[in-house]
Amino acid sequence: MKFLEKDLEEILFKQLTEDKNSLFRDGSEFYDRSRKYFRQLRIGNYGIADIVGYKKPYFHSHKHKGARHHSCHEITVIELKKDNVSLSAFLQAVKYCKGIKRYFDSRGIYNVKLKIILVGREIDTSSDLVFLPDIFSGDIYLYTSDYDYDGIKYSIIRDYCLRKEGFKND
C-alpha cells in the first residue's frame, strides 16, 4: 500500500479532532484541548496550509493587583510531507505564518504567537533545518512519522548535532 501525504493529513487531522487522547498520551506538541483545527486552510494568496490550529486568547487577572491580562492568539501551522522534510517545507510554513500574521495585523490584532510543526517520514539532516528547533525553542518542532501495523507513530527530533563536529577532541 502506498502511503500518501493526504493519507497522513487525514489521519493526523482525525487524531487532532476526534482521537485526541492518543496524541496527548505521547506528550506530542500537536495536542491542545482548547485548540480548534482547520484542514486545507486557504491563507489568502499565501497558499493553502495542510493543518492550522487556532487557540483563542483568554483573560486572567491577578487577585492581589486587580489587573486583567490578555493572552495572545496562538496559531500552529502543521506542514506535512510524505517523505523528506526539507528546508523548503520550513520556508513554505513560514510563508503561511506570514500570511496569518498579515491577516491579524490587518484587523488590528498584534498579539499573535506562531508555531510551526513539520512532519514527514524523514528529516533532511543534510540541511541546516535540523538546527532550527534548538534556536527557536517552543516555536518550531520537527517530527518523523512511521506507519506500521499499530498505526502512525510520531517521534520528535531534538538536539541534533553533527556526527563530526570538528572540535579538537573529536
Higher pLDDT residue, 138 or 59?
Answer: 138
pLDDT at 7: 78
Cell numbers representing residue 114 in the block: 506562531
Name the pLDDT band for 84 (thresholds 50, 70, 90): very high
Residue 150, φ and ψ in degrees, nearest 5: -90, -5
Closest CA to 126 of 154, 84, 79, 157: 84
C-beta separation of 162 from 170 below 8 A: no
Q: What is the CATH number of domain 5-157?
A: 3.40.1350.10
Q: What is the mean pLDDT of the segment spanning 71-94?
A: 92
Digit-coded pLDDT (tens) for 32-66: 667 899 999 999 999 999 999 998 887 655 555 55
Rounded Cα–Cα distance for residues 96 and 78 (Å): 10
pTM: 0.83
pLDDT of residue 151: 73
For the chain, what is the mean pLDDT?
A: 83
